[in-house]
Amino acid sequence: MKTNRQIITILTLLIMAINSNAQEWLDTAEYPFEHHFLQTKNGKLHYIDEGKGEVLLFIHGTPTWSFLYRNYIKAFSNQYRCIALDHLGFGLSDKPIDFIGTPEAHAANLEALIDTLGLTNITLVVHDFGGPIGLSYAIKHASNISRVVIFNTWLWGTKDDPDAQKIYRILHSALGNFLYLRTNLSPKILLKKAFHDKKKLNRQVHRQYTKPFPNKTKRYGLLKIGQSLIGSSDWYQQQWESIDTLKNIPFLILWGEKDDFIKKTNLEKWKAKLTNETICVFPSGHFVQEESFDESLERMKHWLNQNK
């Protein structure tokens, strides 16, 4: 008959086997979190849920995953309940080829996660495509949102933007499909290009962004969300026209002014639209979370304390 110690050992091994989705490439020193999964109709959605208290909900864009927010979660989980999901097709979530992969579809998964976990009084933290995904929930459920933190993102129609049109043409071409699906272009090359100071992206950290996409069949999420930059333009615009729903909610904007992808002119749109915002600008590229972590963390701590 097995002893309690043997049973605990077996259960531990089973949990490790279940969490094998966190594959051998995962740096558990950088990302030392317990893994959770929500079964959706399209596949398993991975998320982490650390700490207790008021909810901080972190929402990533492309080609990143919840790893992007790891250092904020380490810093805040002693005081807040920190939750960060990986969209389907990203990170440690399933990567179904047939999932439509639009921001609208990711937003539906986000809402399902919030409902399943019964989250209330949420502080949203969004970046890149995570902006439209998270803010669409906030607009729909404004009474459930206490604060919003924005890293470089947008929430308006993109179909008339020349830069977006260029990306659209590339990603709908045979060459664009080849580069995204065969060479892992987005996390390997474009992510690095989005850093103003390339030294802030060391090889070990970069590996955590490339390894979730080991082959063609695992990269369709990257391609589909990229194609949605213009493909979902009308949906973005609908959200933008409803943003006044959130006009009384405090916003913190943490903006990388050296971003060549979501340029500083976009910050002016946020300034013109919001009425209760605090803006902090950093000499960073697209990923303030990596390039200016310490500075942005201090600003975020101060702002959260001010807006309790």
Q: Is the pLDDT of residue 118 over 70?
A: yes
What is the percent of the chain with per-residue pLDDT over 90, rounded to a whole number? 92
Q: Is the pLDDT of residue 17 over 70?
A: no
For strand 43-50 and strand 251-256, is the pairing parallel, antiparallel, or unpaired? unpaired
Number of Cβ within 10 Å of residue 42's Cβ equals 18
Q: Is the pLDDT of residue 10 over 50?
A: no
What integer is the mean pLDDT of 34-41? 97
Q: What is the mean pLDDT of the chain?
A: 94
In the chain, at which residue ranges do the beta strands (DSSP E only) sit? 36-40, 43-50, 55-59, 81-85, 122-126, 145-150, 251-256, 277-282
Q: Is the pLDDT of residue 8 over 80?
A: no
Q: How confident is the model at residue 23 (pLDDT cuts 50, 70, 90)?
A: confident
CA 39 to chain centre: 19
What integer is the mean pLDDT of 90-118? 98
3-state secondary structure at position 150: strand
Q: What is the pLDDT of residue 7?
A: 53
Q: What is the pLDDT of residue 5?
A: 56
Q: Please give the Cα distance from 176 to 179 (Å, whole number).
A: 5
Q: Per-residue pLDDT tens for 138-176? A: 999 999 999 999 999 999 999 999 999 999 999 999 999
What integer is the mean pLDDT of 57-75? 98
Q: Which fold has domain 24-306?
A: Rossmann fold (3.40.50)
Contact between 196 and 170 (Cβ < 8 Å): no
Q: Per-residue pLDDT tens for 280-292? A: 999 999 999 999 9
Here the tokens at position 142 are: 């404004």
Residues in the chain: 308
Taking alpha carbons only, the member of 32, 44, 43 closest to residue 82 is 32
3-state secondary structure at position 122: strand
Is residue 182 packed enough to be buried (19+ CB in 10 Å), middle (13-18) or exposed (0-12)? exposed
